[in-house]
Amino acid sequence: MSTQPDLAFDLARLAAGTGSGAIGPASRDRAKQSIMDTLGVMIAASSLAPSVRPVAELAFEMGGRAEATVLGFGGKVPALNAGFVNGAMAHCLDFDDHAPEGHHPSSSIVPAAFALAERAGGIPGSEMIAATVIGQDIFLRIRRNVAWKHDWHLTTIIGTISAAAAAARVAGLDEAQTVSAIGIAAHQASGTMELAYGTGSDLRGMYAGFVAKQAVLAVLMAERGVVGPSSMLEGPAGFFATYLDGNYDRAAMLRDIGRDFTGHEILFKAWPSCGLTHSYIHATLRLMAEERLAPSDIAGITVHVGDVQERLCTPIETRRAPRVPVDAKFSIPYCVAVAAVRGTVGLADFTEAALADPEVLAMAARIEPRPDAGGNWSGCLPALSDSATCGATASHSPRWVSAALP
């Protein structure tokens, strides 16, 4: 066992001791964008995602002190429940920001921080921005320096730590209290990738709600003097040992911490679906445009998938005709079919009515996944942007999407 202080102390020092002036303009600007983006997604979800209404109704039914607003529904509930409902809305459209390597920082960080900021009666905007920057930086530092087997859901486990640190900053906790908050939050970390790979459930879109709620609870407990485990991250049965088999790069996580805030590298999505579908959407749109194809020209489409992408095609019949919107967002066949038929992919393509579109379903039925070991998981996801190497970039790539003509 190491005799050095747990990594939680370094993260707490970052959260409690960083002055706003230490944060560079790029990270500050990206945090502002993330805050506005997350709020916009939450408000849109309040009307576009029917599955969140029961969650909001439950929060209002439980009552309690009116501390923080449930966005899109009106009315206030205790901060704990506001964090839960707003967090559930922050990811359920799958349009929130994401790390270049995949997974979603701000849908956990922003709802937790906002709930506690409103509970406090408001805080300076500079503090909200600094808290978001710090949370994003912690998320990326951990995300980029762990080995992952696609078992635990990284957002639901890493998000608890980063959101707790950001929320602790908003609440004005000192370093010792923040260590406790991180320990309490990490104790609650949970959620496996079956949430994503399974079908037919509304829960996948709501997972950030659980994370935000856990972060708020951890901060409220630490604020009242509850002492969390100070070795929760690196102890023999701590976070890294239990969730990630002890495979993490501590030195890399701490490199330039407090000087280099990495959140400016966070990306925003072009389409409201799982990031792994984006290369296929992009390739399909380019293929249709460059070859001047109409949907009626296409006899079939082959999508070339690595081991992880294949899970977005399995079971194939369910992925071709998803029953609930969240499954459609996590389906390569459905997203490719929408791109081929509509020439774009938008929020309206993931409503319950859109899932019954006969033209899209007919196209999806003609899509065949083909295993391609060249696309297998190699440790991290490439950036899903125009400069990405995952799938198509400057032009469509036959290796990823190819169309058969009559």
CATH number for position 370: 3.30.1330.120
Mean pLDDT of the chain: 92
Instruction: Say what the pLDDT of residue 219 is.
Output: 98
> What are 86-123's pLDDT values in tens digits?
999 999 999 999 999 889 999 999 999 999 999 999 99
301 and 323 in a common domain = yes
- Average pLDDT of the residues in 184-196: 93
Residue 2 lies in a domain: no
Q: How many domains does one find in the chain?
A: 2
The mean pLDDT of 268-283, rounded to a whole number, is: 95
Evaluate the CA torsion angle 205, 136, 16, 32 in order and state its sign.
negative
> Is residue 360 within a helix (H) or strand (E), and if so which, with residue range?
helix 358-364
Tokens of 90: 């922050």
228 falls within a domain: yes
| Domain-embedded: residue 329 | yes
**Which stretch of 24-38, 275-289, 387-401 has the lowest confidence by average pLDDT?**
387-401
The answer on 212 and 119 residing in a single domain is yes
Q: What is the mean pLDDT of residues 253-276?
A: 96
67 and 98 assigned to the same domain: yes
d(CA 81, CA 87): 10
**Where a domain ends, among 218, 245, 265?**
265
Residue 102 confidence (pLDDT): 87
Stronger pLDDT, 200 or 6, i.e. the higher one:
6
**54 contacts: CB under 8 Å, gap ≥ 6:** none
Do 155 and 301 lie in a common domain? no
pLDDT of residue 180: 98
Do residues 176 and 47 share a domain? Answer: yes
pLDDT at 379 (0 to 100): 53
**Mean pLDDT calculated for residue range 28-39:** 98
Query: What's the angle, vertex CA 394, arms to CA 399 and CA 332, rounded to 5?
Result: 50
**Cα–Cα dist 128/117, whole Å:** 8
Question: Residue 21 CB: number of other CB atoms within 10 A?
Answer: 8
Q: In this structure, what are the phi and psi dihedrals at residue 259, rounded to the nearest 5 degrees?
A: -120, -45
Residue 402 corresponds to which tokens in the numbers above?
A: 């190819």
Nearest to 103 by CA among 266, 253, 272: 266
How many angstroms separate the CA atoms of 112 and 84, rounded?
Answer: 8
Last residue of one domain, picked from the residues 211, 241, 265: 265
Place of tokens 């009106």: 74
pTM given for the model:
0.90
| Residue 13 belongs to a domain | yes
Pair (285, 236) in one structural domain: no
Q: For residues 238 and 319, state if they share a domain.
A: no
- Which CATH number goes with the domain that contains 89? 1.10.4100.10
* Average pLDDT rounded to a whole number, residues 214-223: 98
Q: Grade residue 389 by pLDDT with cuts at 50, 70 and 90.
A: very low
Q: Element (H or E) spanning 88, and its range?
A: helix 79-92
Containing 304, the helix (H) or strand (E) segment is strand 300-305
- The pLDDT score that the predictor gives to residue 386 is 31
CA distance 128 to 120: 12
Of 265, 290, 310, the last residue of a domain is 265
Residue type, 206: M
CB 89 within 8 A of CB 106: no
Taking residues 132-156, report their average pLDDT. Answer: 95
Q: Is the pLDDT of residue 390 over 80?
A: no
Quick one: 245 and 288 in the same domain? Answer: no
How many CB atoms neighbour CB 316 within 10 A?
16
Residues 27 and 48 in one domain: yes
Largest CA distance in the chain: 70
388: domain range? 275-404
Asked whether residue 260 falls in the same domain as residue 330, the answer is: no
pLDDT for 316: 96
Residue 379 lies in a domain: yes
Write out pLDDT tens, residues 5-30.
999 999 999 999 999 899 999 999 99
Q: Is the pLDDT of residue 226 over 50?
A: yes
